[in-house]
Amino acid sequence: MGILEGKNGLIFGVANERSIAWHIAQHAAEHGATCAFSHLPGEKMEARVRKTLGKGGLDEAWLHPCDVSSDDDLDALFEAYGKDHGALDFVVHSVAYADREYLKPGTFVDTPRDVFAQSLDISAYTLIAISRRAIPFMKPGGSILALTYYGAEKAAAGYNVMGVAKSALESTARYLAAELGERGIRVNSLSAGPVRTLSSMAVGGIDTILKKVEASAPLRRNIETAEVGKSAVYLLSDLSSGVTGETHHVDAGYNAIVT
Ligand code: NAD
């Protein structure tokens, strides 16, 4: 029996085969979970996500469009999920956005109000919006997981407004954990080391960050995205039943040392 056997999960954030959400989904499915997915609206995006799911043998997986910045989209998604599934054991929030114009080293001070608000909305507030709609389907033992990065804790060149959004996301996860604990629902953040994805390539300093981690992390390398998938399975499963409100680093130990 897989450790997620019989569990149903809803995963936000698969864009392509590089996506962290996709690596989490593959590992969750390997461990027995039934995964459902949302994708950014649009025919092209749907086709790309379908193709990705197909490569992992998940052609038949439940898939629904949702722009997480839209309350109407979120309502429609959860209504459809409720009709088709009804039960939810875990949710993965692997979604973030910031205008790449302001993800360049030296541009943080220029961040306009609307860029800041949009980034915080899509990358942090949506954890509340999604959790609120998910809890009616979740039984005690449910697990909600959000993807974050070390730039929430320390200023990382070029990460800029996204770092502020990640700080808000990690704090949001702790407040949700405090409130949802009495329902037996756990909420954690997984802080992944840098990996090359569509989103991370928008961060101006990504190459410098990758090189720095490789040179100085305790494991002397960058992480594989699959390693995020493996650790996520632990956080989504009953193996971590006593863990909530935690930010779990999967970063080759980078956060543990002074660089
Ligand atoms: P990705 O580009 O594959 O995934 C980001 C996802 O966010 C995409 O699927 C995109 O469609 C979705 N998204 C953006 N705006 C949306 C909206 N309004 N509505 C619905 N979906 C929307 O990149 P990724 O690196 O896999 O990112 C996943 C998560 O992991 C993000 O939260 C990111 O910040 C975090 N993270 C990434 C890294 C890294 O180095 N790649 C490190 C730590 C944390």
Please give the sequence-ordered ranges of beta strands (E in DSSP) within 57-137, or none if there are none: 63-65, 88-93
- Please work out whether the CB of residue 210 comes within 6 Å of at least one atom of ligand 1: no
Residue pair 62/37 in contact (Cβ under 8 Å)? The answer is yes
Summarised one tens digit per residue, pLDDT across range 100-159 is 999 999 999 999 999 999 999 999 999 999 999 999 999 999 999 999 999 999 999 899
Active site residues: 149, 159
Q: What is the torsional sign of CA 111, 114, 115, 121? A: positive
Q: Is 126 in the pocket of ligand 1 (CB under 6 A)?
A: no
How much is the pTM?
Answer: 0.98
Instruction: Give residue 118's pLDDT.
Output: 98
Top-confidence residue, 118 or 85: 118
What is the arithmetic mean of pLDDT over 19-35? 98
- The pLDDT assigned to 205 comes to 81
172 pLDDT higher than 80: yes
Burial 57-91, CB ≥16 within 10 A → b, else e: ebeebbbbbbbbeeeebbeebbebbeeeeeebbbb
Length of the chain: 259
pLDDT of residue 31 exceeding 80: yes
Overall CATH class of domain 8-249: alpha beta
Mean pLDDT, the chain, whole residue set: 97
Residue 123 confidence (pLDDT): 98
Tell whether the model's pLDDT for residue 219 goes beyond 90: yes
- For residue 2, the SS3 value is coil
Query: Does residue 1 register a pLDDT over 80?
Result: no
Chain-centroid distance, C-alpha 28: 14
What number is the average pLDDT over the span 10-32?
98
Atom of ligand 1 nearest to the CA of 149: 43
Question: Is residue 103 within 6 Å of ligand 1 at its C-beta?
Answer: no
